[in-house]
Every structure is written in structure tokens, then in C-alpha cells.
Amino acid sequence: MRFAAIALLLSCAAAAQAAPPHVHGVALLDVAVDGATLSLHLDSPLDNLVGFEHAAYNPSQKATLDKMVAQLNRPEQLFIPTPSAGCKAQAPKLVSAVLEPAGKTAAPHGHVHADMDADFVFQCAAPQNLHGMEVKLSALFPRTHTVKVQIAGPKGQSGAVLESGNTKVSW
């Protein structure tokens, strides 16, 4: 009994080292403003976006994943930079274990977690007007109740925690 408990502790420690545990409901968003380029990196538990963290087992889950991908592929509906800055989104880069072709994903067992890592880039025609952004992640994905934002902007580094309907960051 005692040995089993120790073995379990050790395996948890090893797992924790491999990848820090994420917190369901909380997404991390890195914002970098560099001249006319606004770059965003979203790191979100998949649960926030679709309610599960494994490859689709059935048509309903497949449809849910497809809908998420479609929504993430419309960055201008997720992130709204200062309108007068004239920012246009490029095609995002989406990386998640559940989007790997079937057969490449490890069979889920126990407490398996999966993330969505997404990179978004906007090019802004009038970057001198770019002073902030509205983040609509919680509106589109209601399981996301908190977005922790780190900003590297023209005036330096700052951070913000968006929750309870607060959707605006500025820099």
C-alpha cells in the first residue's frame, strides 16, 4: 500500500516535470507589438474550447473540433485591435495533439490533458493608432472564464487578467 502511494507520487512528479499542469478555464495569451506587426500566442487547455481533451471518438466530437478550428481560423472575430489601426489578420497557425492525423495520437488513458497552441499575426496599416485590443475568447468559448495576458508593447511589458466580462487590454 505504502509503496504504491510512493510510486504514484513519483510518477506525478515526473509528469509535472514533463509539462506543467494547465488549469481548465484559464487561457494564456502573449501579445507582442512590433511596429506594424501584432503577434499573439494563445496557449489554452483544449477543454476551454471544446469541453474534452482527446481526439474525436464520434461524429459529434469531430463536429465540435471542426467548429473550433473554423472559429480559430477567423482571428478577426476573436481579437479586435483598435479599429483605426487597420489591422488585418493572416492565416493562424494551430497546433494541438488532437488535430494530428488519426493513428498518430497516443491512446488517451487516465488524466490526459491536451492544449491548443495558436499563433495569430495581424499586420496594421496605421500602427500609430494601435493602442489595445478586445479579446473575445470567453464570448466564443464560454468555458474560458479567465484570460491571462502578457503584453510586450511599445512602452514595455505589462500584464492583465481578463475575467467577468472584462475583454479589453491596452498598451
* Residues lying near Zn ion in the complex (CB under 5 A): 45, 53, 113
Least distance in angstroms from the C-beta of 97 to Zn ion: 11
29/50 with CB nearer Zn ion: 50
45/153 with CB nearer Zn ion: 45
Report how far residue 47's alpha carbon sits from residue 115's, in angstroms, rounded to the nearest whole number.
8
Instruction: Please give the backbone phi and psi of residue 131, each rounded to the nearest 5 degrees, phi first.
Output: -130, 5
45/132 with CB nearer Zn ion: 45
Least distance in angstroms from the C-beta of 27 to Zn ion: 12
Contact 151, 157 (CB under 8 A): yes
Report how far residue 63's alpha carbon sits from residue 58's, in angstroms, rounded to the nearest whole number.
9
**10, containing H or E segment:** helix 2-18
Least distance in angstroms from the C-beta of 45 to Zn ion: 5
Instruction: Please give the backbone phi and psi of residue 66, each rounded to the nearest 5 degrees, phi first.
Output: -60, -40
Least distance in angstroms from the C-beta of 68 to Zn ion: 15
39/105 with CB nearer Zn ion: 105
